[in-house]
A and B are shown apart, each in its own frame.
Chain A
Amino acid sequence: MRRALSYLALLGYLVFLAFPLIWLLSTALKTPQEMASLDPAWLPRRPTLANFADAFAEQDLVGSALRSLVVATASAVITVVLALPAAYALARHRGAVNRIAIGWVLVSQVFPVILIIIPLFMVLRRFDLVNTLPGLTFVHVTFTLPFALWMLQGYVRAVPRELEEAAAVDGAAKATSIVKIVAPLLAPGVVATLLFAFISSWNEFLFALVVLKDPDIATLPLTLVKFTGAEGVVRLGPLAAASLLATIPSLVFFAAIQRRLKSGLMAGAVKG
């Protein structure tokens, strides 16, 4: 009896979690005629990929995906290049600076973005960077930096200090030991941070909305939202298709890290 109730509850959760996803997928595969039907069906009667082709053709989806790709890649690389030396220093040198930096990461979570975006917008305007991709990249770097710093210094700490000390005893210079010993061990952490920064930028909406006024240089989230503006029922199919395509990078990222999420690293983070 108790077991049956548990299964019933689990089933309820499965339905709640899955049904919007199924509906998105189903809408993406429906023909325009079927979309116009007054009695929507769960599954498409004659599944079609035409919506995907339409999505590419109609709105500047490819162009905005490319722009998102450029901005996300640039901001991920710049963020990590800026954060890595400081992360190393923070992890190896405990003290007031370290505590302040960690505190800053927490504080930056509490403050609403509106308090950051207005001053940044004014800075961008002064340097004529509003409406430019470098401007948006700059804003994304700014925004991702504190958290990337925190992530990276965690990864540096996991590299045993003894390894570096052993290298020093063997006569290796500081730089050598960092390049030859710390760097290879740190590679997975750097990749994770790069991915995190990439996904944050790829998904980001508010800053893009504020910085990019010109529709011709819109990034992917902006283009997707614009889709809904002229919303006839028939256009919902391409919209669903485009949304699915935009989700692929995040899905790949999560597939890559999901084992770590499950295996309790999260537990470690919470227990501190």
Chain B
Amino acid sequence: MTAAAGAYAPAPPRRPRRTPRRGGGREMFLLMLPALVPVLVFSVGPLLYGIFLAFTDARSGRNAETSFVGLANFGDLLTDGDFWTSFRIGMIWGISVTVLQFLASLGLALLLDRDLRLRGLARVLALVPWAMPPVVIGLMWRLVYHPNAGILNAVLRDAGLLGHNVDWLNDFAIALPAVIVVGVWTGMPQTTVVLLAGLQNVPRELYEAGQVDGAGTWRRFWNITLPQLRPVIVAITSLDFVWNINQFGLVYVLTQGGPGGRTRLPMLFAYEEAFRFGFFGYASTLGVAIVIVVLAVLGLYLWRQMREAN
């Protein structure tokens, strides 16, 4: 859902540059009150409370006593084998989906930027996954992967690549890659649209100059397109990574975390801890841990990108 929030919105128009102006403070404050109060009370407040819960032993029971336990949950987390398994799966999922999404979308954006027939069709098709509810995407791919009635097995059998039907989403070794493919399919539209917009903003003169200097297609791509795209690439891959690591609905619908926990992303793990077993405090700790990891990964990534850009 977090992913969806960013994904579905049409971009607001660009703001005209304008000198800031002050004054009317009191009036403005009164105007902001009706929105700031709900944001503070229902959005900032719960989040801070959620972070606080990470340091308590809160349980789901209505009358359960809650007490402050300091860093005990974090200690438990570090020695919890299930958490580490889930964490590893989450990192494999988050990084591979983000990287594959980026590569696939860059290829598609480069093609769409060229004057090819069928381009219109490809553009429409590239937007469709964006327009589908995540639950429906999950269900649709379950139909594709279905062991008996699914099209994937039928096609592969007809092509002679498979001797027997594979149960894609229930096979210990294949489930995670299968789910990753769905993740890539789902996230391609946003990434493609953003990269395409970036490509169209690369000044054409640069390519002309490159051509004059005798640079081939590959060199022009490597020395002009990529460096020009860099800020866009950094922004969209960072966002994709955050969205992917926080993914829940898609994988829940596909596998519910199975088989044997092989696709149990951290958010599915946290959901189970909180709403199946009732460990509210521990689940919050998991959430906080994921935030720390995401911020660390992003920080490192952005820092390296900035250093290279300079």
Q: Which applies to chain B's interface (DSSP): helix, strand, loop or mixed? A: helix
- Asked if A251 is at the interface (CB within 8 A of a chain B CB), the reply is yes
Is B111 within 8 A of A10, CB to CB?
yes
Is B198 within 8 A of A270, CB to CB?
yes
- Asked if B131 is at the interface (CB within 8 A of a chain A CB), the reply is yes
Cβ of B258 to closest chain A Cβ, rounded Å: 13
| Cβ contact of B8, chosen from A117, A123, A196, A227, cutoff 8 A | A196
Is B149 within 8 A of A233, CB to CB?
yes
Is A82 within 8 A of B49, CB to CB?
no
Interface centre among B46, B252, B290 (most CB of A within 10 A): B46
Is A149 within 8 A of B16, CB to CB?
no
Question: Hey, what's the 0/1 contact readout for A198-211 against B, CB within 8 Å counting as 1?
Answer: 01101111110110
Cβ of B45 to closest chain A Cβ, rounded Å: 8
A window 224-270: CB within 8 A of B: 224-225, 227-228, 233, 236, 239-240, 243-244, 246-247, 250-251, 253-254, 257-258, 260-262, 264-270
Count residues on chain A whose CB falls below 8 Å from chain B CBs. Answer: 118
- Asked if B35 is at the interface (CB within 8 A of a chain A CB), the reply is yes
Complexed CA–CA distance, A174 and B239 (Å): 39
The residue in chain A whose Cβ has the minimal distance to the Cβ of B13 is A158
Complexed CA–CA distance, A158 and B245 (Å): 34
The residue in chain A whose Cβ has the minimal distance to the Cβ of B137 is A20
The residue in chain A whose Cβ has the minimal distance to the Cβ of B39 is A145
Is A142 within 8 A of B13, CB to CB?
no
Q: Which residues of B contact A123 (CB under 8 A)?
A: 46
Cβ of A108 to closest chain B Cβ, rounded Å: 7
Is A40 within 8 A of B36, CB to CB?
no
Is B116 within 8 A of A7, CB to CB?
yes
Interface centre among B20, B42, B194 (most CB of A within 10 A): B42
How many residue-residue contacts, CB under 8 A, span A and B?
337
Complexed CA–CA distance, A31 and B49 (Å): 52
Is A110 within 8 A of B291, CB to CB?
yes
- With contacts A89-B28, A109-B242, A112-B2 taken as known, whether A42 is within 8 angstroms of B151 at the C-beta atoms is yes
B window 104-145: CB within 8 A of A: 104, 107-108, 111, 114, 116-119, 121-136, 139-144
Closest 7 CB pairs of A and B: A154-B12, A86-B35, A269-B11, A267-B197, A115-B50, A254-B131, A94-B20
21 contacts between A and B (CB under 8 A): A18-B125, A20-B140, A20-B143, A36-B149, A82-B35, A110-B295, A113-B246, A114-B271, A114-B283, A120-B46, A174-B27, A228-B139, A233-B149, A247-B131, A251-B131, A254-B130, A262-B123, A266-B11, A267-B201, A268-B13, A270-B198
Besides A112-B245, A205-B135, 18 new A-B residue pairs in contact (Cβ under 8 A), listed by A number: A10-B111, A14-B122, A109-B5, A112-B291, A119-B46, A143-B1, A146-B43, A158-B13, A189-B12, A192-B10, A204-B1, A204-B4, A227-B139, A253-B131, A260-B10, A267-B201, A269-B12, A270-B232
**What is the interface of chain A, defined by CB distance below 8 A to chain B?**
2, 6-7, 9-10, 13-14, 16-21, 23-24, 27, 35-36, 38-42, 82-90, 92-95, 97, 101, 104, 108-120, 122-123, 125, 138, 141-147, 149-155, 157-158, 160-161, 174, 189, 192, 196, 199-200, 202-207, 209-210, 221, 224-225, 227-228, 233, 236, 239-240, 243-244, 246-247, 250-251, 253-254, 257-258, 260-262, 264-271
